[in-house]
Amino acid sequence: MPLRRVTIELPSEVLVRQGVVPAVFFDHNASVEILRVYAFQPRERVLLVRVLRTGPPRTTEELARSRARLRRRYHLRDFEILRVEDGGRAYIVLLRQHNPGVLEALLEDLGAGVTPTTPIVIGPEVATLSFLADDGAARRVFDLLDGFGMRWRLRSRKAIRHGGIGAEDGLTSRQREILSLAWNLGYFDIPARAGLEKLAQITGLSRNTVSQHLRRGMRRILRESLL
């Protein structure tokens, strides 16, 4: 079956009620956008997100001082503030979070047949969620949502061309994922803000495997750029 990018909408209150979004999140924030999914396993997820605040602007240092409080407030296993944008009204965060029961059940039932992708934007009223799946897996998602009593509507379902999203750059999905993570964490900064150990910890891979993905990905990019 062809792979499709499926985008659905549902009331944000459903995600709050199921524990996917903490109940207090919209007391302090306007929205959260998932920029990249680095891991989405039954028990936890690792995400790169952009949070738009509603309160007064905050600097990176102010947010860092509030780290322990924010971690408790939003039930995060771990998180790292990578940068602040829009004059302190938005920030980019890498976070690790336990999955609530509804997500754990969905992932255990669907396995690798469904892959979260962009766009995923959750506002105070409406949540837009996207995933890659063939028609059979998408139908199982819809049936599970119905089984949980969730109100939702299909916004779009588009076929993915052969080779997958972004395949024109020649990178594998894993190479693209790790290069993106390395870039966002500051692996390529001078001086570097993250090393192989950090990348390995987040991805669950060995340092050697992470290094191989980085080297092969960079080799491909440089070959396309220089030759």
**Confidence band (pLDDT; 50, 70, 90) for 112?**
low
* Residue 37, beta-bridge partner list: 47
16-20, 41-45, 140-144, 189-193: segment of lowest average pLDDT: 41-45
Q: Distance (Å, rounded) from C-alpha 223 to C-alpha 49?
A: 31
Four-point Cα dihedral 39, 175, 218, 213, nearest 10: 90
% the chain with pLDDT above 70:
94
C-alpha dihedral sign at 183, 207, 116, 166: positive
Segment 168-208, tens digit of pLDDT: 567 887 888 899 889 888 899 999 988 999 898 888 889 99
Segment 117-149, tens digit of pLDDT: 889 999 999 999 999 899 999 999 999 889 888
Q: Distance (Å, rounded) from C-alpha 12 to C-alpha 6?
A: 18
Q: Distance (Å, rounded) from C-alpha 199 to C-alpha 197?
A: 6
Question: Model-level pTM?
Answer: 0.81
Question: In order of start, what are the domains of the chain with their CATH numbers?
Answer: 4-159 (no CATH), 167-226 (1.10.10)
